[in-house]
Amino acid sequence: MSIEDKVRWNKKYEHQLLVPSHVLDVVKEFSAKVTGTKAVDIACGMGRHSRFLAQNGFEVDALDISDVAIESLKNVANITPIMVDFDEYKLKENAYDLVVCTYFLERKLFPQIQKALKKEGIFIFETFMHHEKNTKVPSNKSFLLNKGELEESFSEGFEILHHKEFMDESICGDISMKCSIVIKKTVS
């Protein structure tokens, strides 16, 4: 990430008066199945998932490059907001019962996420995918997941608990292919 990334995300969050409240269904459903209480929310933004997890008994490390987003989480109980640049930051190893990452795709984090999860830990991930019918997705195609990519990256020592690929249509009629996946670590 870069200074430009930080400026772009700060600009987006500066004008966001309300905290987004829509928690993804996959986060609601599978966070309830986690046995421990230590979580990390990668690229947390204004903290919709961090706040939800904290309200449901988790101690959350909320990570984002935007100091505007991190500042919005400073006084929220059970959340430790940490401003990070994922080009430099390393996730703590064997530290988390739950890793949440939604709509942020940084492939070099996959090995770190594998190491960050405790045994029986759960990784919840949802993002955009490559698809010829997409009309509204990130312009940088490297931010789009390839079919089977995550399953391949998490093939050894992990179990897929949930996998859904779906075409999502926005209220404006924009179409985007998305992938929702939940993976459990089965080895130490």
Q: What is the pTM of this model?
A: 0.89
Q: Is the pLDDT score of 2 beyond 80?
A: no
Strand 59-64 and strand 79-83: the pairing is parallel
CA 85 to mean position of chain CA atoms? 15
Show Cβ contacts of residue 73 under 8 Å, excluding neighbours closer than 6 positions.
Answer: 44, 46, 47, 50, 51, 62, 79, 81
What's the CA gap between 185 and 146, in Å, rounded? Answer: 22
Strands 175-185 and 117-128: antiparallel
Report percent pLDDT > 90 for the chain: 74
pLDDT band at 6 (very low <50, low <70, confident <90, very high): low
What number is the average pLDDT over the span 86-114? 96
Q: What is the CATH number of the domain that holds 179?
A: 3.40.50.150
Print the domain residue range for 11. 3-185
Tens of pLDDT, residue by residue over 146-178, are: 999 999 999 999 999 999 999 998 877 889 999
- What CA–CA distance (Å, rounded) separates 96 from 179? 23
Residue 7 above 70 pLDDT? no
Task: Count the domains in the chain.
Answer: 1
* Alpha-carbon distance values, 178 to 10, 50, 134, 185 (Å): 25, 21, 10, 23
Whether pLDDT at 32 is above 60? yes
pLDDT tens, 117-141? 999 999 999 999 988 888 887 778 8
Q: Nearest to residue 113, comparing CAs of 25, 35, 184?
A: 184
Contact 100, 30 (CB under 8 A): no
Q: Is residue 17 pLDDT above 60, yes or no?
A: no
